[in-house]
Structure 1
Amino acid sequence: MEETLLDREGNAIAYLDFADEKTIYLWDGTPVAYLENENRLYSFNGKHIGWYEDGVIWDLSGKKAGFNKKTVPVFAKFEPFKSFKKFKPFKSFTEFAKMKPLKSSNLSNENLMAYLKKGEK
């Protein structure tokens, strides 16, 4: 099962593949992050970058960084063609998860693509 991940403008940026170890891929097939216990979001370099809960990607400050189609605050735009998946890098040792902040109704200032790629190997 896959779930499209959109930015705050409704652009399809990535997708979450639940059948592939809960890996998040960009549309060009690049694996950029994955979910671990309690829906913690990690980059492949082991950095804890947020959470995925209730169809929303929450950043470390509790702001909304990304959405699924049901939670996006605007009309979802057309999804681009998916490229073949690229090889996933080995997962680095994961750092301890940050304390979960209170969830905010505010949107993150960082665009979703940059947010997901910040921990790229």
Structure 2
Amino acid sequence: MRKIIILLVLIFNLTALAQGDISLFNSKGDATAYISTDDEDLTIYLWGGKPVAYLYKNNGEFHVYGFNGVHLGWFINGIVRNHDGNAMGVTKEATSMYTNYEPYKGYKEYKPYKSYREYAPYKPYLSSSWGSMNFKLFLLQGIDD
């Protein structure tokens, strides 16, 4: 059973990466951000084109880091999770909820330089709940403005 789960996770990740951008939806089903697979560092952009974070693979896990070096959470099986283990954003494939129409994306802005990454906290138990913070605000914690 464990081998089947690992195989499904690998297939999901490879399929998502081969499709181009990976759309991320908030708890209301609105397209809020996307992961650009054109970038080698898997940059997370807000729907309007602002780069706010990136995925960093460490020990087989994808960590979500802001360009300011702040560890925001993890990307696990198509779900962006915060430090409490709650879902903040999801891919269409990782949820059974209705997702709204994806509007046109804004032009990608230039990516800022990456700051030194802070240490990641211990990964919490994963919950079936949504985090209380707005997904866009959650991602905006990854930039200095």
Q: Could you tell me the TM-score, scaled by structure 1's length?
A: 0.95
- What is the percent sequence identity of the aligned residues? 38
Aligned length: 121
Mapped to 1, the partners of 2:86 and 2:27 lie a distance apart of: 12
Aligned to 2:64: 41
Superposition TM-score, scaled by structure 2 size? 0.80
Rg larger in structure: 2
**Distance in 1 between the 2:122 and 2:66 partners?**
17
Instruction: Give the structure 1 partner of residue 106 of structure 2.
Output: 83
56, 67, 78: which is aligned to 1:55? Answer: 78
Let me know the Cα RMSD of the aligned residues: 1.0
Residue 27 (structure 1) shift? 1.4
Matches within 5 A, 1:67-82: 67-82=90-105
The answer on 1:8 being equivalent to 2:27 is yes
- Between structures 1 and 2, the one with greater helix share: 2
Which AA in structure 2 matches 1:26?
L
Deviation at 1:35, TM superposition (A): 0.4
Q: 2: CA distance between counterparts of 1:110 and 1:83? A: 23
Task: State the SS of the aligned residue for 1:70.
Answer: helix
Q: Provide Cα deviations, 1:31-70, integer angstroms capped at 9, x if missing partner.
A: 0100002200000100001000101011001011110011
Q: Runs of at least 4 residues of structure 1 off by over 6 A? A: none
Query: Can you give the 5+ residue segments of structure 1 that lack an aligned partner in the other structure?
Result: none
CA distance in 2, matches of 1:72, 1:118: 24
Partner-residue secondary structure (3-state), 1:105: coil
